[in-house]
A and B are shown apart, each in its own frame.
Chain A
Amino acid sequence: MNMHSFLMGGALAALLGSATDHDIASPNTQYGANPVLPAPHQYLVPPMQVPPGVGWSAGQAPAVPAGLKIRAFAAGFEHPRMVYVLPNGDVLVVESNGPKAPIYRPKDYIEDKVKALAGSSAPGGNRIILLRDSKGVGVPDVRTVFIDHLNSPFGIVLVGNDLYVADTDAILRFAYTPGATRIASPGVKLTDLPAGPIDHHWTKSLAASPDGSKLYVGVGSNSNITENGMAAEAGRATIWEVDRHTGMKCIYAFGLRNPTGVAFEPQTGKLWAIVNERDEIGPNLVPDYLTSVHQGAFYGWPYSYFGRHVDIRVQPQRPDLVARAVPPDYALSSHVAPLGMAFSRNSALPQRYRSGVFIAEHGSWDRSPLNGYKVVYVPFRNGKPAGSPQDVVTGFLTPDQSHSQGRPVGLAFDGEGALLIADDVGNTVWRVSASGG
């Protein structure tokens, strides 16, 4: 681009307050192993669309296809992010939001305002709520504060009678007694996790290995694309493996920008993750993804994406790392913001939903038109994705896409095999079950 056209185009774009629109290919060109990746752009104002979060009116609910039904399991939460089901069927709801972000640049101040508009800044309860449906009617009749005074918790997993909660700065272990409705004793710190003072991607996702000996923690990057410096990224954009008994940890895989969900595929016992990729280089860049996670593998961030597609915003570059970057298994399309995942084996949903993974796409404002804001199902065959993602729970946006009534985050299957969805704008936990039963 010559200087003249750069200045003219730039001045025009600045005047209009929006970037020039390029032809935006449909998200369905970006599903699976070989997404179509357009050339990256450096914008003056990146494509954005912010649907203000307004919550649900009485009687409204997300939509599901024929064969399924949905209704509110419980409501009135303080920014519910994660759901987890204990062996006795009790449902835990993690109420949480990130710590207050520091203002390092004028842009941080503007992003703060955008987040507030989109309903992402509501204070989290910093606690875990327990719901019990003791009569088995699909409506909880017991509701207690299970664990209080946490620090931006997100991931949660029970191994034996040890309940692990991933706060933003540490993994805590709590002694769980089956049937308990609250845990008053303070947690014991198993290990520290990378946190403040910036803590840009603050969620720490958590899963236990099938044999229960190890924990896996998804730790997001401390920036979009290293704008806070590489020193701020120490230990971040990685999945840590933590020994459950000693708390000793090592990096299991790295270069995963924001691994917001980690889970073991039930048929093969392999570790999978959902990852939020980078922003501001185009409406179709970079696709968020679902991938199996190999020990010691590098998945690109920050130097490259989807294998060896170099991101010039990162200097100095690392061609040695780019050369060994592993392309992820399965693109979910760009800016869908996957935040929750649940493998569906043994669920009580119709047969066509029983051999894959459900993924909650929170949606993002870094794209126009919007993408995500729904729960999709990715079918698996022989432990690998087979086929396009299918929309399962939609209608979180108003029909004109001007507002969001809800945004899905955490997913889990309850004791009866129905899918629970934490909705942090609607402050509701939704329950999706087969419409026959």
Chain B
Amino acid sequence: MDSRYSTIDTARRAPSRHAELPVPLMMWGNIPTGRPVFHTCFPVHPRFVGFGATLLIGAFATDVAYCVSDLFQWENFSTWLITAGLASAAAGATALISDAMRHRIAKIDWRRFSGFSAAALLSILNAFVHSRDAYTAVVPQGVILSGIVTAILLALGWWRGWSVAKSSHSQASGRRQS
């Protein structure tokens, strides 16, 4: 456990101006001096984007399982995975707005933003395809769509993670991260 969360260790920590504050409170923004001590500088949206991407990629796996087995339960798994993936994408979109407003990200990489948006829109379409009954809910359009979505998400996320922020490293070094 991170020692910041431990009250037992507090006494042994190096003395600081704020040693008198309960440790958990130090997590939250401004303290009475008016100066932020622990700033939530990490953007929130990648957590939801990554979570949703995992679910949508999972739907491709269960679609493939349905294709090779014809077992209806795989199709049910796919519909729930796509639904939950879209819910997570919606949470990610909300978090991105919050990240931008609170300056937790400096700049948006619009190409990455478009890529994630395309994956979400194709998944909305795929949710309708998957709402069909039995075979045509998956074959062929359903599994094609979840395959395309999986390709987009892996291409975007494998090397650079789930943030749509412009990488500070690539800005500083003047070259694209690959």
Whether chain B is bound by chain A comes out as yes
Q: Could you say which of A107, A224, A280, A312 contacts B135, with CB atoms under 8 Å apart?
A: A312
Q: Residues of B contacting A312 with CB < 8 Å? A: 135-136
A14-B125, A45-B128, A229-B71 known; A105+B76 contact, CB < 8 A: yes
A 306-361 contacts with B by CB, 8 A: 312-316
| Whole-angstrom CA separation of A312 from B140 in the bound complex | 12
- Does A42 lie within 8 Å of B136, measured CB to CB? yes
Q: Could you say which of A11, A226, A229 contacts B125, with CB atoms under 8 Å apart?
A: A11
| Whole-angstrom CA separation of A104 from B133 in the bound complex | 12
CB proximity of B148 to chain A, nearest CB, Å: 9
Q: Interface size of B by Cβ–Cβ distance < 8 Å?
A: 26
Q: Residues of B contacting A224 with CB < 8 Å? A: 133
B 64-111 contacts with A by CB, 8 A: 70-73, 75-76, 79-80, 83
- Does B79 lie within 8 Å of A229, measured CB to CB? no
A11-B125, A106-B80 known; A226+B134 contact, CB < 8 A: yes
B168 at the interface (CB under 8 A from A): no
- Does B125 lie within 8 Å of A227, measured CB to CB? no
CB proximity of A110 to chain B, nearest CB, Å: 8
- Does A315 lie within 8 Å of B121, measured CB to CB? no
| Whole-angstrom CA separation of A254 from B27 in the bound complex | 68
Query: Chain A: residues with CB nearer than 8 A to chain B?
Result: 3, 6-7, 10-11, 13-14, 42-45, 104-107, 223-229, 280, 312-316
CB proximity of A394 to chain B, nearest CB, Å: 31
CB proximity of A387 to chain B, nearest CB, Å: 35
- Does B129 lie within 8 Å of A315, measured CB to CB? no
- Does B129 lie within 8 Å of A44, measured CB to CB? yes
| Whole-angstrom CA separation of A396 from B35 in the bound complex | 71
| Whole-angstrom CA separation of A314 from B134 in the bound complex | 6
- Does A106 lie within 8 Å of B125, measured CB to CB? no
- Does B80 lie within 8 Å of A44, measured CB to CB? no
Query: Chain B: residues with CB nearer than 8 A to chain A?
Result: 70-73, 75-76, 79-80, 83, 121-122, 124-125, 127-129, 131-137, 139, 141, 144
CB proximity of A21 to chain B, nearest CB, Å: 17
| Whole-angstrom CA separation of A111 from B76 in the bound complex | 16
- Does A313 lie within 8 Å of B131, measured CB to CB? no
- Does A10 lie within 8 Å of B72, measured CB to CB? no
| Whole-angstrom CA separation of A105 from B132 in the bound complex | 11
Q: Residues of A contacting B128 with CB < 8 Å? A: 10, 13-14, 44-45
- Does B83 lie within 8 Å of A313, measured CB to CB? no
- Does B71 lie within 8 Å of A106, measured CB to CB? no
| Whole-angstrom CA separation of A33 from B117 in the bound complex | 51
CB proximity of A3 to chain B, nearest CB, Å: 7
Q: Residues of A contacting B134 with CB < 8 Å? A: 223, 225-227, 313-315
Closest 9 CB pairs of A and B: A44-B128, A313-B134, A227-B133, A229-B72, A315-B135, A42-B136, A227-B134, A224-B133, A106-B83
Q: Residues of B contacting A14 with CB < 8 Å? A: 124-125, 128
Q: Residues of B contacting A315 with CB < 8 Å? A: 70, 134-135, 139
- Does B80 lie within 8 Å of A227, measured CB to CB? no
Q: Residues of B contacting A105 with CB < 8 Å? A: 76, 79-80, 131
| Whole-angstrom CA separation of A313 from B75 in the bound complex | 13
* 27 A-B residue pairs with CB within 8 Å: A3-B144, A7-B125, A10-B125, A11-B121, A11-B125, A14-B124, A14-B128, A42-B141, A44-B129, A44-B131, A45-B128, A45-B131, A105-B79, A105-B80, A105-B131, A106-B79, A106-B83, A106-B127, A107-B79, A107-B131, A226-B133, A226-B134, A227-B134, A312-B135, A314-B135, A315-B134, A315-B139
**Given A42-B132, A227-B72, A227-B75, 19 further pairs, Cβ under 8 A:** A10-B128, A11-B125, A14-B125, A14-B128, A42-B136, A42-B141, A44-B125, A104-B76, A105-B80, A106-B83, A106-B127, A107-B131, A228-B72, A229-B72, A229-B73, A280-B132, A313-B134, A314-B134, A315-B134
